[in-house]
Amino acid sequence: MTRPASQRPASAEAKSQDRSASSARGAEWLAGAGLRPTRQRAILASLLIGDGQHRHVTAESLFADVQKRGESVSLATVYNTLRAFCDAGLMQEVLVDGTKSYFDTNTHDHPHFYWEDENRLSDAPADQLEITRLPGAPEGAEIASVDVVIRLRRRN
C-alpha cells in the first residue's frame, strides 16, 4: 500500500530545499537589520525564522535546536547572538520572572501567556486585552512600554 505524500518521509532533496529556503529567509532577516551574516548568526536566524513562523525561545532551547541540527555553536554564542538580535530590533526579550528570559521573533506589542507547568511562552490574543488606565509616571519619567504576561497553570 502506498502512503499519501503527506505521510511519506521527506526526501533528502526536499530537506535540502527546505534548508535552503530557511537559510535564504534567515539571510534576508539579518540583512534587513544591517547585521553581518556570520556563520553562527546565519544558523540561528535560519532556526528562528526559517519556517516563516514566529517563535518564542530560550537560549537553552535554541542551543538544543542547534545541536539537533548537527551544528556547532556554543551556548555563550547563542546568548550573545540573541542579545544582538534584540539590539538590532529583530527580537524582543520577554522576562517571565527574575531568572527566565524568552526571546520572541514577533516584535509588535502583544501580550503573552506563560504556561507555568510547562515553562512555555505563547502569544495571547491582543484584540482581547483592554488596559483602560495606567498610573501616572513619576516626575521626569515617561512610560516606555507595558509588558503583559498572563501566567497560566493547568487545573487539577
pTM of the predicted model, to two decimals? 0.82
Residue 47 and residue 59 in contact, taking contact as beta carbons nearer than 8 Å: no
Q: What is the mean pLDDT of the chain?
A: 89
Tell whether the model's pLDDT for residue 1 goes beyond 50.
no
pLDDT digits 0-9 by tens, 130-147: 999 999 999 999 998 889
Q: How many C-beta atoms lie closer than 10 Å to residue 92's C-beta?
A: 18
Tell whether the model's pLDDT for residue 122 goes beyond 90.
yes
Instruction: Return the higher-pLDDT residue of 4 and 149.
Output: 149
Q: For the chain, give every domain's residue range.
A: 15-152
pLDDT for the residue 5: 52
Task: Give CA–CA dist 115/153, Å, rounded.
Answer: 6
Instruction: Return the higher-pLDDT residue of 14 and 19.
Output: 19
Among 45, 15, 9, which residue's Cα sits nearest to residue 27?
45
Task: Give CA–CA dist 18/54, Å, rounded.
Answer: 17
Give the pairing of strands 120-123 and 112-115.
antiparallel
Task: Give CA–CA dist 3/66, Å, rounded.
Answer: 31
pLDDT grade for 70, boundaries at 50, 70 and 90: very high
Cell readout for 146 is 507595558
Tell whether the model's pLDDT for residue 7 goes beyond 60.
no
- Provide the β-strand partners of residue 151: 114
Tell whether the model's pLDDT for residue 98 goes beyond 60.
yes
* CATH topology for the 15-152 domain: Arc Repressor Mutant, subunit A (1.10.10)
pLDDT for the residue 90: 97
Question: For 142, which DSSP code?
Answer: -
Look up cell 532577516; give the residue: 29
Tell whether the model's pLDDT for residue 149 goes beyond 60.
yes
pLDDT for the residue 38: 94
Look up cell 505524500; give the residue: 5
Question: Please, what's the largest Cα pairwise distance for the chain?
Answer: 74
Amino acid found at 19: R
Q: Where are the alpha helices (DSSP H) in the chain?
A: 12-32, 39-49, 59-68, 75-87
